Amino acid sequence: MAKAKTYYFCQHCGYQSSSWLGRCPDCGKFGTFAEEVVQATPTAKSSKQSLPTASKPKRIQEVTYSETQRIATHCGEFDRVLGGGIVPGSLVLLGGEPGIGKSTLLLQTALAIHDRRLLYVSGEESEQQIKMRADRIGINTENCYVVSETVTQRIFEHVDSVQPELLIVDSIQTISTEDLESPAGSVGQIRQCTTEFQHYAKQTGVPVLLIGHITKDGTLAGPKVMEHIVDAVLQFEGDRNYGYRILRALKNRFGSTAELGIFEMQGSGLREVPNPSEFLLSQRDETLSGAAVAATLEGARPMFIEVQSLVSSAVYGTPQRNANGFDMRRLSMLLAVLEKRCGFKLGAKDVFLNIAGGLRVNDPAIDMAVACAILSSNVDIPISPRICFAAELGLSGEVRPVSRVEQRIAEASRLGFEKIIISKYNIRSLDTKRYKIEIVPVSVIEEAFRALFA
């Protein structure tokens, strides 16, 4: 056998080099290179093996597949994010912060798919601990096998004896292969193990679900290359202090990345939430200032979220700005716009912003609700809870149009709102008489301010 070959990898981005480098040419980080053993001969052999021997180009019309081959997870929200179930032979990575509920989600899925034989491999928990969790979830099935194992060679032995139709591996960071000497969780190990699972999935048609950890800055721990190897990358997120969890697809070769699943963590596992808006809106008192409802879209789904703000005189020299679930830089920008256009002296005020429910919103359509919540708190005049907002704000205070405004208006109307404030530029393509709800078009922020508080 040929001598084991070594390469140097950037531990930050996975850049590969045949010699040691002080600075990574790819990500620019210093001192991140580490040597890793790559046994060149076996990998080359196995990658050759994975090539189908008798492949022949076909006309695209001749290629057949069936949607029914997908494995239903028996969980509407999970299926929706996957694009209608798990595709045979696919490799899916589920990422998320520690304690967010990744193990719970996949164990619960494993238990729910009671009509198929499946194997749950955990490198983090013992079989007893998995059983305790399963008891909490409380679904009974005869087809779910569990094993606590961390070495891929052993895992494939278990796979041979169980012959599962679905394989779940709890945390790729704890799994290692005997071929490499580096510890579990290192770049080389993660890459190699992921590739081994990928070969297994492609050769046997058995889908593999991998759990992956997320680093503090919110990216999947391990090399970026892992995201290229897998077919789908799902992210499980939410605030640990709140019960809501959002599952979104960051990459999906077999479905849309616009879909998103919403769950609630309960004492007995995760519960699906098919209609998020209804419980995200707190039943608030009409007389409280500083709150406004935003008609946002998360992926393809309308979500109505309450934005709360508190503006008070700054006690200390430097005014404080604090935002939960909203980008701080965006908040500073909106404050500057309000200062310039609406003449508020917000520079001498503390501004606190909170998105109800512990959610993180990226939809720019929330801007208008944020600005109005701040204004409402500043002048201490409440905004009626029957009004909602869907518009983006530009740097000069112009109210900009948002995508899919019809869908937002229809949902607002369905939820019983009386008024929705949108951009004037959105109104052109709209048939306003179709909706029961009053549609208020505005072109600059001052107009919205006059409409609300004058």
Chain positions contacting ligand TYD, by CB under 6 A: 96, 98-104, 133, 136-137, 265, 267-269
Which partner from the list ligand TYD, Mg ion, none does 96 bind, CB cut-off 5 to 8 Å by kind?
ligand TYD
| Least separation in angstroms between CB 249 and ligand TYD | 17
| Least separation in angstroms between CB 134 and ligand TYD | 9
* C-beta of 39 vs 103, nearer to Mg ion: 103
Do 212 and 224 form a contact (C-beta atoms < 8 A)?
A: no
| Least separation in angstroms between CB 159 and ligand TYD | 22
| Least separation in angstroms between CB 195 and ligand TYD | 23
Q: What's the distance, Cα to Cα, between the start and end of the chain in Å?
A: 83
* C-beta of 87 vs 100, nearer to ligand TYD: 100
Which partner from the list ligand TYD, Mg ion, none does 282 bind, CB cut-off 5 to 8 Å by kind?
none
Task: List, as one string, the DSSP characters of 432-443.
Answer: GGG-SSEEEEES
Do 361 and 325 form a contact (C-beta atoms < 8 A)?
A: yes
| Least separation in angstroms between CB 161 and Mg ion | 25
| Least separation in angstroms between CB 265 and ligand TYD | 5
* C-beta of 128 vs 432, nearer to ligand TYD: 128
Q: Please report how many Cα atoms fall inside a 13 Å half-sphere around the Cα of residue 358, on the Cβ side.
A: 12
* Tally of CB atoms within 10 A around 209: 29
C-alpha to C-alpha distance for 388 and 305, rounded to whole angstroms: 9
Cα–Cα distances in angstroms (integers) from residue 328 to residues 309, 314, 353, 354, 370, in the given order: 13, 18, 9, 11, 12
Largest CA distance in the chain: 83
C-alpha to C-alpha distance for 48 and 407, rounded to whole angstroms: 50
Which partner from the list ligand TYD, Mg ion, none does 267 bind, CB cut-off 5 to 8 Å by kind?
ligand TYD
* C-beta of 103 vs 308, nearer to ligand TYD: 103
Closest CB to Mg ion: residue number: 103
Which partner from the list Mg ion, ligand TYD, none does 133 bind, CB cut-off 5 to 8 Å by kind?
ligand TYD
* C-beta of 137 vs 147, nearer to ligand TYD: 137
Question: Which residues are bridge partners to 310 per DSSP?
Answer: 352
| Least separation in angstroms between CB 151 and ligand TYD | 21
Report which residue type is found at 391: A
* C-beta of 103 vs 182, nearer to Mg ion: 103
* C-beta of 121 vs 366, nearer to ligand TYD: 121
Cα–Cα distances in angstroms (integers) from residue 213 to residues 188, 221, 235, 270, 418, in the given order: 16, 6, 10, 19, 44
Do 156 and 200 form a contact (C-beta atoms < 8 A)?
A: yes
Neighbour order of strands in the sheet with 387-390: 321-324, 349-355, 301-313, 291-298, 387-390, 419-423, 438-442
Helix (H, G, I), strand (E, B) or coil at 398: strand
Question: Which residues are bridge partners to 232 per DSSP?
Answer: 92, 252
Which partner from the list ligand TYD, Mg ion, none does 277 bind, CB cut-off 5 to 8 Å by kind?
none
Which partner from the list ligand TYD, Mg ion, none does 201 bind, CB cut-off 5 to 8 Å by kind?
none
Instruction: Give the angle subtended at the CA of 425 by the CAs of 419 and 426, to the nearest 5°.
Output: 50
* C-beta of 134 vs 375, nearer to ligand TYD: 134
| Least separation in angstroms between CB 169 and Mg ion | 11
| Least separation in angstroms between CB 116 and Mg ion | 22
| Least separation in angstroms between CB 84 and ligand TYD | 24
Residue 59, judged by CB atoms within 10 A of its CB (0-12, 13-18, 19+), counts as exposed
Q: Which of residues 99-128 bind Mg ion (CB under 5 A)?
A: 103
* C-beta of 96 vs 302, nearer to ligand TYD: 96
* C-beta of 98 vs 183, nearer to ligand TYD: 98
Which partner from the list ligand TYD, Mg ion, none does 123 bind, CB cut-off 5 to 8 Å by kind?
none
Which partner from the list ligand TYD, Mg ion, none does 104 bind, CB cut-off 5 to 8 Å by kind?
ligand TYD
Do 248 and 299 form a contact (C-beta atoms < 8 A)?
A: yes
| Site residues for Mg ion per CB under 5 A | 103
